[in-house]
Amino acid sequence: MSTATARARADALLTGHGQTYAREAGVKLRDTPQPLYQLLVLAHLLSARIRASVATDAARALFDDGMRTPKRMSEATWQQRVDALGKGHYRRYDERTATQLGEAADQVLERYGGDLRKLREAAGGDVEECRRLLRELPGIGPAGADIFLREVQGVWPEFAPYFDAKALQGAERLGLPKSPGAVARLVEESEYPALAAGLVRSALDKQVADDVTARAGN
């Protein structure tokens, strides 16, 4: 595939399917404690085997019920967390997830004073160390760490470009380059999180890939 064709497909993907999952969940991501914590919660919910739309709805429900910070999440009762997840139709894993959200909030408070920027500092610019620290938090496994890093690379640029295996599956489906560096060269650095989100959607839904091809005209 020519570079021009690849860039046309990347642009079409951004236009049609490039909304980040954080934005879909109503999180205005910045390098400040509250949105970073909300992204962590969203990454936790998205990492389950459940539709992304359900996970983002459940995140919105938790935040709407006041659980926007680790302190508020920790102070909420287990039943309040279960009820909020239920409002977002996140029912299959709601009881376990409610427990893990409370435990993870406690750890974020104890280890990082409620501020995930301290986790960033502890990682020292090493992406694998950042993944390891994220995975120490209850409910954050390999998939959750990847989701967090795909989205946070826009405000933590030392970890960019971050296109994990799932994003690269989407790139392959679209006929795009299959290495993080080559994919990154198709867009501006500020567009990495949106491109990663679009690539994941392409990996999960063939109709997304078909739509991108049609939009790009090739």
The dihedral sign for the CA sequence 58, 64, 65, 71? positive
**pLDDT at site 111:** 97
Please tell me which residue, 125 or 2, carries the higher pLDDT value: 125
- pLDDT-based confidence at residue 174 (cuts at 50, 70, 90): very high
Cβ–Cβ < 8 Å for 59, 42 = yes
Cβ–Cβ < 8 Å for 154, 186 = no
- pLDDT-based confidence at residue 188 (cuts at 50, 70, 90): very high
Q: Is the pLDDT of residue 77 over 90?
A: yes
Residue range 59-84: mean pLDDT, rounded: 97
**pLDDT at site 178:** 87
**pLDDT at site 215:** 82
Answer left, alpha or beta for residue 66, where phi above 0 means left and psi between -120 and 50 means alpha: left
Q: Is the pLDDT of residue 155 over 90?
A: yes
**pLDDT at site 27:** 96
- pLDDT-based confidence at residue 5 (cuts at 50, 70, 90): confident
**pLDDT at site 216:** 81
pLDDT digits (tens, 9 = 90+) for 28-48: 999 999 999 999 999 999 999
Least Cα distance to 156 among 25, 35, 15, 4 occurs for: 35
**pLDDT at site 2:** 82
pLDDT digits (tens, 9 = 90+) for 43-66: 999 999 889 999 999 999 999 999
Average pLDDT, the chain: 94
Percent of all residues in the chain with a pLDDT value above 70, rounded to a whole number = 100
- pLDDT-based confidence at residue 91 (cuts at 50, 70, 90): confident
Q: Is the pLDDT of residue 134 over 90?
A: yes
**pLDDT at site 149:** 98
Q: What are the CA-CA distances from residue 156 to residues 33, 67, 123, 141, 150 (Å)? A: 13, 24, 11, 20, 10
**pLDDT at site 193:** 97
Cα(146)–Cα(175) distance, integer angstroms: 22
**pLDDT at site 108:** 98
